[in-house]
Amino acid sequence: QVQLVESGGGSVQVGGSLRLSCAASGYTYSGVCMAWFRQAPGAEREGVAVIETGGTTNYADSVKGRFTISKDNAKNTVYLQMNSLKSEDTAMYYCAADPRWRCVNWVRPSDYNYWGQGTQVTVSS
C-alpha cells in the first residue's frame, strides 16, 4: 500500500524559508508523477509544483522563482524548498502521487491516486 508522509511545515515570517519533505513507501510503479498541492481555508486545492520520473518540473505561476521541487530517489523522498514566503502561501500543503510517466494536466487533484495527510504552513508578517 502506498503511503505518503509529509513533514517540514511550520510558522515562518514573511520572506522566510521552509523545506517540506514527502516520504513515499510501498510504491512499486516504474513511473510516477509527484506533486505538491496546497489548500487554504475556504479555497480549492491548487497545484503548486510537480516533478516527473525523468526529473522534469513544473510550477504554478504564483510560486515560480520562489519554490523548487526536487527528489531523492534513493530515499524515495520529494522536497519542496520554499523561499521568499508570502502571507498568501499560508495553507495546508499536501503531497500527491500518481502512477504515470508524464504529468499532463498536473494541477488536477482528481488525477492523483495517493495523498499524504498534509502539513501546515503559516506565513505571518
Note the pLDDT of residue 36.
Answer: 98
Q: Which residues contact 43 (CB under 8 A, 6 or more apart)?
A: 91
Return the pLDDT at 106: 95
State residue 95's pLDDT score. 98
The HSE-up count of residue 4 (CA atoms within 13 Å, CB side) is 25
- Whole-number pLDDT of residue 52: 95
Enumerate residues 6+ apart whose C-beta is below 8 A from 81: 17, 19, 67, 68, 69, 70
Task: Output the pLDDT for position 102.
Answer: 86
* Low-confidence residues of the chain: pLDDT under 70: none
d(CA 32, CA 121): 25
Residue with the three cell numbers 491548487:
46
Backbone angles phi, psi at 42, to 5 degrees: 80, 0
Is the separation of the CB atoms in 2 and 98 below 8 Å?
no
Q: How far apart are alpha carbons 48 and 35 in whole angstroms? A: 7
| Coil, strand or helix at 63 | coil
What pLDDT score was predicted for residue 113?
94
